[in-house]
Amino acid sequence: MALDPNPTSDTGRNAQVIVAVILTGAAMVWLAPILTPLALAVFLMLMIDAMARDLHQRIPALGPDASLIGAILTCIVVFGVTVVFVAAHAAGFVAKLLTYQPRLNALLSELAHTLHMALPRTVNQLIAGLNPGQYVPMVAAGVQTLVTNGVLILIYLGFLLASRHGFERKVVRLFVGRVGRHEALQVFLRVRDSLERYLWIQTVCGAFIALGSWALMMMIGLESAFFWAFLIFVIGYIPIVGAAIGILAPALFALLQFPTPWQGAFLGFSMLALSFVVGNIMMPRMQGRSLNIDPVMILLSLAFWGAVWGVTGMFLSTPLTILVMVVLAQFDGSRWIAVLLSADGDPHSLGATAIRPPPAVASQNSEASAL
Protein backbone atom coordinates (compact mmCIF):
# COMPACT_ATOMS: atom_id res chain seq x y z
CA MET A 1 0.00 0.00 0.00
CA ALA A 2 1.47 3.31 -1.06
CA LEU A 3 1.78 5.95 1.60
CA ASP A 4 1.14 9.63 1.10
CA PRO A 5 4.60 11.28 1.09
CA ASN A 6 3.13 14.48 2.51
CA PRO A 7 0.38 13.46 4.92
CA THR A 8 -1.56 16.40 6.32
CA SER A 9 -4.33 15.89 8.85
CA ASP A 10 -7.39 18.06 9.06
CA THR A 11 -6.19 19.33 12.42
CA GLY A 12 -2.85 20.39 10.99
CA ARG A 13 -4.46 22.05 7.99
CA ASN A 14 -6.91 23.96 10.20
CA ALA A 15 -4.06 25.03 12.46
CA GLN A 16 -2.22 26.39 9.43
CA VAL A 17 -5.32 28.31 8.37
CA ILE A 18 -5.73 29.82 11.85
CA VAL A 19 -2.07 30.86 11.95
CA ALA A 20 -2.40 32.36 8.46
CA VAL A 21 -5.48 34.34 9.56
CA ILE A 22 -3.65 35.70 12.59
CA LEU A 23 -0.60 36.68 10.55
CA THR A 24 -2.80 38.26 7.89
CA GLY A 25 -4.64 40.29 10.53
CA ALA A 26 -1.35 41.48 12.01
CA ALA A 27 -0.12 42.48 8.55
CA MET A 28 -3.36 44.39 7.91
CA VAL A 29 -2.92 46.34 11.14
CA TRP A 30 0.71 47.09 10.31
CA LEU A 31 -0.06 48.12 6.72
CA ALA A 32 -3.29 49.98 7.59
CA PRO A 33 -2.02 53.41 6.42
CA ILE A 34 -1.47 51.91 2.95
CA LEU A 35 -4.32 49.41 2.72
CA THR A 36 -7.22 51.52 4.01
CA PRO A 37 -6.99 54.16 1.22
CA LEU A 38 -6.62 51.32 -1.30
CA ALA A 39 -9.69 49.53 0.06
CA LEU A 40 -11.77 52.71 -0.12
CA ALA A 41 -10.52 53.34 -3.65
CA VAL A 42 -11.59 49.83 -4.70
CA PHE A 43 -14.95 50.46 -3.05
CA LEU A 44 -15.40 53.68 -5.02
CA MET A 45 -14.24 52.00 -8.22
CA LEU A 46 -16.91 49.32 -7.83
CA MET A 47 -19.54 52.02 -7.39
CA ILE A 48 -18.36 53.94 -10.45
CA ASP A 49 -18.01 50.78 -12.55
CA ALA A 50 -21.51 49.60 -11.61
CA MET A 51 -22.93 53.02 -12.42
CA ALA A 52 -21.09 53.10 -15.76
CA ARG A 53 -22.34 49.65 -16.79
CA ASP A 54 -25.89 50.51 -15.79
CA LEU A 55 -25.71 53.78 -17.74
CA HIS A 56 -24.35 51.93 -20.78
CA GLN A 57 -27.19 49.39 -20.60
CA ARG A 58 -29.80 52.13 -20.40
CA ILE A 59 -28.22 54.31 -23.09
CA PRO A 60 -26.19 52.02 -25.42
CA ALA A 61 -25.37 54.93 -27.72
CA LEU A 62 -23.03 56.41 -25.11
CA GLY A 63 -20.51 53.60 -25.32
CA PRO A 64 -18.36 52.24 -22.47
CA ASP A 65 -15.92 55.16 -22.28
CA ALA A 66 -18.61 57.85 -22.35
CA SER A 67 -20.59 55.92 -19.73
CA LEU A 68 -17.54 55.78 -17.48
CA ILE A 69 -16.98 59.52 -17.86
CA GLY A 70 -20.66 60.16 -17.09
CA ALA A 71 -20.44 57.99 -13.97
CA ILE A 72 -17.32 59.82 -12.77
CA LEU A 73 -18.92 63.23 -13.35
CA THR A 74 -22.05 62.09 -11.50
CA CYS A 75 -19.97 61.02 -8.49
CA ILE A 76 -18.07 64.32 -8.53
CA VAL A 77 -21.33 66.30 -8.61
CA VAL A 78 -22.85 64.25 -5.80
CA PHE A 79 -19.72 64.62 -3.68
CA GLY A 80 -19.57 68.37 -4.33
CA VAL A 81 -23.22 68.87 -3.45
CA THR A 82 -22.70 66.86 -0.26
CA VAL A 83 -19.72 68.95 0.82
CA VAL A 84 -21.54 72.22 0.10
CA PHE A 85 -24.63 71.01 1.96
CA VAL A 86 -22.68 69.95 5.04
CA ALA A 87 -20.64 73.16 5.08
CA ALA A 88 -23.76 75.31 4.71
CA HIS A 89 -25.66 73.59 7.52
CA ALA A 90 -22.83 72.81 9.95
CA ALA A 91 -22.35 76.40 11.11
CA GLY A 92 -26.07 76.92 11.66
CA PHE A 93 -26.31 73.61 13.49
CA VAL A 94 -23.51 74.57 15.90
CA ALA A 95 -25.14 77.98 16.45
CA LYS A 96 -28.41 76.29 17.39
CA LEU A 97 -26.60 74.05 19.85
CA LEU A 98 -25.18 77.14 21.56
CA THR A 99 -28.66 78.61 21.94
CA TYR A 100 -29.70 75.46 23.81
CA GLN A 101 -27.00 75.92 26.45
CA PRO A 102 -29.48 76.87 29.25
CA ARG A 103 -31.55 73.78 28.50
CA LEU A 104 -28.41 71.62 28.49
CA ASN A 105 -27.33 73.13 31.81
CA ALA A 106 -30.70 72.24 33.30
CA LEU A 107 -30.45 68.67 32.01
CA LEU A 108 -26.92 68.26 33.40
CA SER A 109 -27.98 69.59 36.78
CA GLU A 110 -31.02 67.31 36.84
CA LEU A 111 -28.89 64.30 35.86
CA ALA A 112 -26.33 65.03 38.59
CA HIS A 113 -29.11 65.40 41.16
CA THR A 114 -30.85 62.19 40.09
CA LEU A 115 -27.68 60.08 40.10
CA HIS A 116 -26.31 61.72 43.28
CA MET A 117 -22.92 62.03 41.63
CA ALA A 118 -20.40 64.84 41.40
CA LEU A 119 -21.06 65.57 37.73
CA PRO A 120 -20.56 68.90 35.92
CA ARG A 121 -23.74 70.93 36.26
CA THR A 122 -23.11 73.37 33.40
CA VAL A 123 -21.67 73.21 29.91
CA ASN A 124 -18.77 75.47 30.91
CA GLN A 125 -17.85 73.14 33.78
CA LEU A 126 -18.06 70.17 31.43
CA ILE A 127 -15.79 71.82 28.85
CA ALA A 128 -13.33 72.93 31.55
CA GLY A 129 -13.17 69.40 32.89
CA LEU A 130 -12.47 67.98 29.45
CA ASN A 131 -9.60 70.46 28.90
CA PRO A 132 -10.09 70.85 25.13
CA GLY A 133 -6.59 72.27 24.68
CA GLN A 134 -5.04 68.85 25.07
CA TYR A 135 -7.02 67.55 22.10
CA VAL A 136 -5.79 70.20 19.64
CA PRO A 137 -2.73 68.16 18.52
CA MET A 138 -4.91 65.08 18.10
CA VAL A 139 -7.41 67.01 15.98
CA ALA A 140 -4.62 68.50 13.85
CA ALA A 141 -3.10 65.05 13.32
CA GLY A 142 -6.52 63.67 12.42
CA VAL A 143 -7.11 66.41 9.84
CA GLN A 144 -3.66 65.80 8.34
CA THR A 145 -4.33 62.06 8.12
CA LEU A 146 -7.72 62.70 6.53
CA VAL A 147 -6.22 64.95 3.85
CA THR A 148 -3.37 62.51 3.17
CA ASN A 149 -5.76 59.57 2.87
CA GLY A 150 -8.01 61.59 0.58
CA VAL A 151 -5.13 62.27 -1.80
CA LEU A 152 -4.06 58.61 -1.72
CA ILE A 153 -7.62 57.47 -2.41
CA LEU A 154 -7.85 59.72 -5.46
CA ILE A 155 -4.47 58.49 -6.76
CA TYR A 156 -5.41 54.84 -6.23
CA LEU A 157 -8.82 55.40 -7.80
CA GLY A 158 -7.30 56.97 -10.91
CA PHE A 159 -4.93 54.07 -11.47
CA LEU A 160 -7.62 51.48 -10.75
CA LEU A 161 -9.99 53.04 -13.27
CA ALA A 162 -7.24 53.23 -15.85
CA SER A 163 -6.35 49.54 -15.46
CA ARG A 164 -9.81 48.08 -14.92
CA HIS A 165 -10.16 46.79 -18.51
CA GLY A 166 -7.11 44.61 -18.17
CA PHE A 167 -7.95 43.20 -14.76
CA GLU A 168 -10.49 40.63 -15.94
CA ARG A 169 -8.14 39.53 -18.74
CA LYS A 170 -5.38 39.05 -16.16
CA VAL A 171 -7.69 36.90 -14.06
CA VAL A 172 -8.43 34.75 -17.11
CA ARG A 173 -4.78 34.34 -18.11
CA LEU A 174 -3.67 33.37 -14.60
CA PHE A 175 -5.12 29.90 -15.28
CA VAL A 176 -4.07 27.61 -18.11
CA GLY A 177 -7.02 25.23 -18.18
CA ARG A 178 -10.54 26.13 -19.19
CA VAL A 179 -11.99 24.86 -15.90
CA GLY A 180 -9.69 27.05 -13.86
CA ARG A 181 -10.47 30.08 -16.00
CA HIS A 182 -14.19 29.53 -15.71
CA GLU A 183 -14.00 29.14 -11.93
CA ALA A 184 -11.85 32.29 -11.65
CA LEU A 185 -14.37 34.26 -13.68
CA GLN A 186 -17.20 32.90 -11.56
CA VAL A 187 -15.47 33.97 -8.35
CA PHE A 188 -14.71 37.41 -9.77
CA LEU A 189 -18.27 37.96 -10.96
CA ARG A 190 -19.73 36.57 -7.76
CA VAL A 191 -17.70 38.98 -5.62
CA ARG A 192 -18.40 41.96 -7.88
CA ASP A 193 -22.12 41.37 -8.23
CA SER A 194 -22.58 40.59 -4.53
CA LEU A 195 -20.79 43.78 -3.50
CA GLU A 196 -22.84 45.82 -5.96
CA ARG A 197 -26.03 44.23 -4.68
CA TYR A 198 -25.00 45.00 -1.12
CA LEU A 199 -24.41 48.66 -2.01
CA TRP A 200 -27.78 48.85 -3.74
CA ILE A 201 -29.62 47.27 -0.80
CA GLN A 202 -27.89 49.50 1.74
CA THR A 203 -28.62 52.60 -0.34
CA VAL A 204 -32.31 51.80 -0.78
CA CYS A 205 -32.85 50.80 2.85
CA GLY A 206 -30.82 53.78 4.10
CA ALA A 207 -32.86 56.16 1.95
CA PHE A 208 -36.08 54.61 3.24
CA ILE A 209 -34.96 55.02 6.87
CA ALA A 210 -33.75 58.57 6.24
CA LEU A 211 -37.02 59.55 4.54
CA GLY A 212 -39.13 58.00 7.32
CA SER A 213 -36.98 59.65 10.01
CA TRP A 214 -37.35 63.01 8.26
CA ALA A 215 -41.15 62.60 8.30
CA LEU A 216 -41.11 61.74 12.02
CA MET A 217 -38.86 64.70 12.84
CA MET A 218 -41.05 67.05 10.83
CA MET A 219 -44.09 65.67 12.64
CA ILE A 220 -42.81 66.84 16.03
CA GLY A 221 -41.19 70.00 14.64
CA LEU A 222 -37.54 69.10 15.20
CA GLU A 223 -35.14 71.72 13.87
CA SER A 224 -32.54 70.76 11.24
CA ALA A 225 -34.65 67.73 10.30
CA PHE A 226 -33.21 67.52 6.79
CA PHE A 227 -29.66 67.69 8.13
CA TRP A 228 -30.38 64.86 10.57
CA ALA A 229 -31.98 62.79 7.80
CA PHE A 230 -28.92 63.27 5.60
CA LEU A 231 -26.65 62.27 8.49
CA ILE A 232 -28.76 59.15 9.12
CA PHE A 233 -28.46 58.17 5.46
CA VAL A 234 -24.65 58.56 5.41
CA ILE A 235 -23.86 56.73 8.65
CA GLY A 236 -26.38 54.02 7.76
CA TYR A 237 -23.63 52.34 5.72
CA ILE A 238 -21.93 51.41 9.01
CA PRO A 239 -23.76 48.29 10.27
CA ILE A 240 -25.38 48.44 13.73
CA VAL A 241 -23.32 51.39 14.99
CA GLY A 242 -24.66 53.73 12.30
CA ALA A 243 -28.26 52.78 13.09
CA ALA A 244 -27.70 53.30 16.82
CA ILE A 245 -26.19 56.78 16.30
CA GLY A 246 -28.96 57.66 13.85
CA ILE A 247 -31.58 56.85 16.48
CA LEU A 248 -29.96 58.33 19.60
CA ALA A 249 -28.57 61.60 18.22
CA PRO A 250 -31.86 63.16 16.99
CA ALA A 251 -33.69 61.94 20.12
CA LEU A 252 -31.11 63.62 22.37
CA PHE A 253 -31.31 66.78 20.29
CA ALA A 254 -35.09 66.74 20.76
CA LEU A 255 -34.55 66.70 24.53
CA LEU A 256 -32.59 69.93 24.16
CA GLN A 257 -35.06 71.64 21.85
CA PHE A 258 -38.34 70.87 23.61
CA PRO A 259 -39.17 71.67 27.26
CA THR A 260 -40.90 68.30 27.78
CA PRO A 261 -39.25 64.89 27.24
CA TRP A 262 -42.12 63.20 25.40
CA GLN A 263 -40.99 64.50 21.99
CA GLY A 264 -37.55 62.94 22.40
CA ALA A 265 -39.01 59.68 23.70
CA PHE A 266 -41.54 59.54 20.84
CA LEU A 267 -38.86 60.23 18.24
CA GLY A 268 -36.47 57.65 19.70
CA PHE A 269 -39.05 54.84 19.91
CA SER A 270 -40.53 55.67 16.49
CA MET A 271 -37.14 55.66 14.77
CA LEU A 272 -36.24 52.44 16.57
CA ALA A 273 -39.43 50.83 15.26
CA LEU A 274 -38.70 52.13 11.76
CA SER A 275 -35.16 50.76 11.85
CA PHE A 276 -36.44 47.42 13.17
CA VAL A 277 -39.00 47.09 10.37
CA VAL A 278 -36.46 47.94 7.67
CA GLY A 279 -33.71 45.78 9.14
CA ASN A 280 -35.83 42.72 9.88
CA ILE A 281 -38.51 42.78 7.18
CA MET A 282 -37.57 44.95 4.23
CA MET A 283 -33.83 44.26 4.05
CA PRO A 284 -34.04 40.43 4.35
CA ARG A 285 -36.65 40.36 1.56
CA MET A 286 -34.36 42.38 -0.69
CA GLN A 287 -31.29 40.35 0.17
CA GLY A 288 -32.76 36.88 -0.20
CA ARG A 289 -29.86 34.53 -0.88
CA SER A 290 -27.74 37.17 -2.53
CA LEU A 291 -25.57 37.98 0.50
CA ASN A 292 -26.04 34.88 2.67
CA ILE A 293 -24.10 36.20 5.68
CA ASP A 294 -24.95 35.15 9.21
CA PRO A 295 -26.19 38.16 11.27
CA VAL A 296 -23.94 37.21 14.17
CA MET A 297 -20.98 37.20 11.82
CA ILE A 298 -21.93 40.69 10.64
CA LEU A 299 -21.63 41.88 14.24
CA LEU A 300 -18.33 40.05 14.75
CA SER A 301 -16.97 41.34 11.44
CA LEU A 302 -17.89 44.87 12.48
CA ALA A 303 -15.83 44.45 15.66
CA PHE A 304 -12.95 42.74 13.85
CA TRP A 305 -12.58 45.18 10.96
CA GLY A 306 -13.14 48.10 13.32
CA ALA A 307 -10.24 46.89 15.46
CA VAL A 308 -8.06 46.38 12.37
CA TRP A 309 -8.83 49.49 10.30
CA GLY A 310 -10.87 51.74 12.59
CA VAL A 311 -13.80 53.65 11.11
CA THR A 312 -12.80 52.64 7.59
CA GLY A 313 -12.95 48.99 8.61
CA MET A 314 -16.38 49.46 10.17
CA PHE A 315 -17.63 51.13 7.00
CA LEU A 316 -16.30 48.31 4.81
CA SER A 317 -16.90 45.44 7.25
CA THR A 318 -19.72 43.74 5.34
CA PRO A 319 -18.18 44.09 1.83
CA LEU A 320 -14.86 42.78 3.16
CA THR A 321 -16.60 39.85 4.83
CA ILE A 322 -18.36 39.01 1.57
CA LEU A 323 -15.01 39.04 -0.22
CA VAL A 324 -13.36 36.86 2.43
CA MET A 325 -16.22 34.35 2.43
CA VAL A 326 -16.22 33.92 -1.36
CA VAL A 327 -12.44 33.50 -1.54
CA LEU A 328 -12.20 31.10 1.41
CA ALA A 329 -14.98 28.94 0.00
CA GLN A 330 -12.75 28.03 -2.97
CA PHE A 331 -10.17 26.12 -0.90
CA ASP A 332 -10.62 22.91 1.04
CA GLY A 333 -8.50 24.03 3.96
CA SER A 334 -10.43 27.26 4.56
CA ARG A 335 -13.93 26.26 3.42
CA TRP A 336 -15.02 25.66 7.02
CA ILE A 337 -14.49 29.37 7.79
CA ALA A 338 -16.69 30.32 4.84
CA VAL A 339 -19.34 27.89 6.09
CA LEU A 340 -19.32 29.60 9.50
CA LEU A 341 -19.62 33.02 7.88
CA SER A 342 -22.57 32.01 5.70
CA ALA A 343 -26.16 32.12 6.87
CA ASP A 344 -27.27 28.71 5.56
CA GLY A 345 -23.99 26.81 5.59
CA ASP A 346 -23.59 27.01 1.80
CA PRO A 347 -21.15 29.83 0.96
CA HIS A 348 -21.24 28.87 -2.73
CA SER A 349 -24.85 30.09 -2.92
CA LEU A 350 -23.68 33.66 -2.44
CA GLY A 351 -24.91 35.62 -5.44
CA ALA A 352 -25.37 32.42 -7.42
CA THR A 353 -28.14 33.99 -9.47
CA ALA A 354 -25.90 36.86 -10.52
CA ILE A 355 -23.18 34.89 -12.31
CA ARG A 356 -23.92 36.18 -15.77
CA PRO A 357 -20.83 37.67 -17.40
CA PRO A 358 -21.29 41.00 -19.16
CA PRO A 359 -20.40 41.12 -22.85
CA ALA A 360 -16.82 42.25 -22.19
CA VAL A 361 -16.14 39.37 -19.82
CA ALA A 362 -17.94 36.86 -21.99
CA SER A 363 -15.81 37.81 -24.97
CA GLN A 364 -12.66 37.43 -22.91
CA ASN A 365 -13.87 34.05 -21.70
CA SER A 366 -14.52 32.85 -25.24
CA GLU A 367 -11.15 34.19 -26.32
CA ALA A 368 -9.47 32.38 -23.45
CA SER A 369 -11.25 29.15 -24.35
CA ALA A 370 -9.81 29.32 -27.85
CA LEU A 371 -6.24 29.57 -26.55
pLDDT at 130: 59
pLDDT at 185: 74
- Would you tell me how many other CB atoms lie within 10 Å of the CB of residue 127? 11
φ, ψ for residue 289 (rounded to 5)? -100, 10
Q: What is the pLDDT of residues 165-177, one digit of tens each?
A: 677 677 667 766 7
How many angstroms separate the CA atoms of 246 and 231, rounded?
7
pTM exceeds 0.75 for this model: no
Q: Which residues of 75-98 are buried (b: 16+ CB within 10 A; e: fewer)?
A: eeeeeeeeeeeeeeeeeeeeeeee
Q: What is the pLDDT of residues 223-280, one digit of tens each?
A: 888 888 888 988 888 777 788 888 888 888 888 888 888 888 899 899 999 988 887 7
Q: Check if the beta carbon of residue 272 is closer than 8 Å to that of residue 237.
A: no
Q: What is the pLDDT of residues 158-214, one digit of tens each?
A: 888 887 767 767 766 776 677 777 777 777 777 778 788 888 888 888 899 999 999
How many angstroms separate the CA atoms of 69 and 58, rounded?
15
Angle at CA 354, nearest 5°, toward 351 and 356?
Answer: 145
* Average pLDDT rounded to a whole number, residues 110-132: 62
Domain ranges of the chain: 33-130+139-164
